[in-house]
């Protein structure tokens, strides 16, 4: 069958394809420009678009512009996405492995242990003696294996997705600084008679930063969908942060508040741009690791 058999002498074919989606897209482009046209199906499965001869030149020009402007759309981001997921997973595995290894070296909580004497969050030492490094070292200490397992199971899932959003480097550095800030606010609230250890402050900081990301992303500060992350954080706070002999409600609450503040900072234009730079991500990752190492080197250098 001749494809041109049904073509009117006053019409010209401006586009032909076997891809139905492409034909529909071209039809929408022409409709948007108020160019009358019709679609003709052919027996071989292809289809053609016909327009009046007087409008054929304009129609072909509009289709040419559309294909030129969208030649690289959508952008290919598979490699970047896979790299982001791999970096987040590798960082999570590294942090979890180091935390488990660290527990095997420090042992469970004991008030006469060098590790806990040197690195536990001690409000008096922080406020009166300026031992600020304890705000970070306390995050790496856990009372026992169940304490560590609880933080890994609950926090691992949240931290993984947080790293996917902000990158492993920027995410790790922001997490440490936010948790340290939460610990400091907790120290100020409790006064000098308070000792704490554990990564739970960082877990709730993550909840706060993820919640703020959700708010900024939706660009709405009111509405039920925007309140969902806050309600989820409050529910987790009530479920995990309000019972138990060793539970530090203050570290959970102030970690959440600190996370909200840091989450707002992470959504600024400057820090948002940093997410896309592999070099800056690497610098932040090294900075986060150095922050932990420097914090622990301080009590060692003082003791020895």
Domain ranges for the chain: 11-69, 78-303
pLDDT of residue 47: 92
| Assigned fold of 11-69 | Alpha-Beta Plaits (3.30.70)
pLDDT of residue 180: 95
Mean pLDDT in runs of 10 for the chain (304 residues)?
54 89 90 91 88 91 87 54 58 67 66 78 90 91 71 76 88 94 92 82 88 76 58 60 56 89 91 86 92 88 64
pLDDT of residue 126: 92
pLDDT of residue 113: 74
CB 144 within 8 A of CB 109: yes
Same topology for domains 11-69 and 78-303, yes or no? no
Give CA–CA dist 63/269, Å, rounded.
36
pLDDT of residue 291: 94
CATH class of 78-303: mainly alpha
């Amino acid at each position: 069958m001749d494809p041109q058999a049904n073509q009117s002498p006053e019409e010209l074919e401006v586009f032909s394809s076997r891809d139905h989606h492409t034909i529909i897209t071209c039809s929408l482009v022409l409709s948007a420009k108020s160019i009358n046209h019709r679609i003709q199906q052919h027996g071989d499965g292809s289809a053609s678009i016909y327009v009046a001869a007087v409008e054929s030149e304009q129609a072909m020009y509009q289709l040419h512009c559309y294909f030129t402007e969208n030649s690289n759309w959508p952008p290919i981001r598979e490699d970047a996405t896979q790299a982001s997921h791999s970096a987040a997973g590798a960082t999570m595995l590294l942090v979890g492995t180091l935390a488990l290894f660290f527990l095997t070296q420090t042992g469970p909580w004991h008030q006469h242990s060098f590790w806990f004497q040197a690195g536990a969050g001690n409000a008096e030492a922080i406020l009166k003696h300026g031992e600020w490094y304890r705000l970070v070292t306390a995050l790496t200490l856990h009372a026992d294996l169940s304490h560590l397992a609880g933080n890994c199971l609950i926090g691992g899932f949240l931290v993984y997705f947080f790293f996917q959003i902000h990158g492993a480097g920027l995410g790790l550095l922001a997490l440490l600084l936010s948790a340290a800030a939460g610990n400091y606010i907790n120290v100020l609230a409790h006064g000098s008679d308070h000792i704490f250890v554990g990564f739970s402050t960082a877990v709730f900081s993550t909840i706060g930063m993820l919640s703020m990301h959700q708010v900024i992303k939706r660009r709405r500060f009111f509405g039920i969908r925007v309140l969902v992350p806050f309600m989820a954080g409050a529910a987790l706070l009530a479920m995990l942060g309000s019972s138990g002999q060793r539970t530090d409600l203050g570290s959970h609450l102030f970690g959440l508040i600190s996370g909200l503040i840091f989450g707002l900072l992470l959504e600024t234009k400057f820090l948002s741009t940093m997410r896309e730079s592999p070099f800056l991500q690497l610098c932040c990752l090294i900075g986060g690791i150095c922050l932990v190492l420097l914090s622990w080197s301080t009590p060692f250098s003082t003791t020895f």
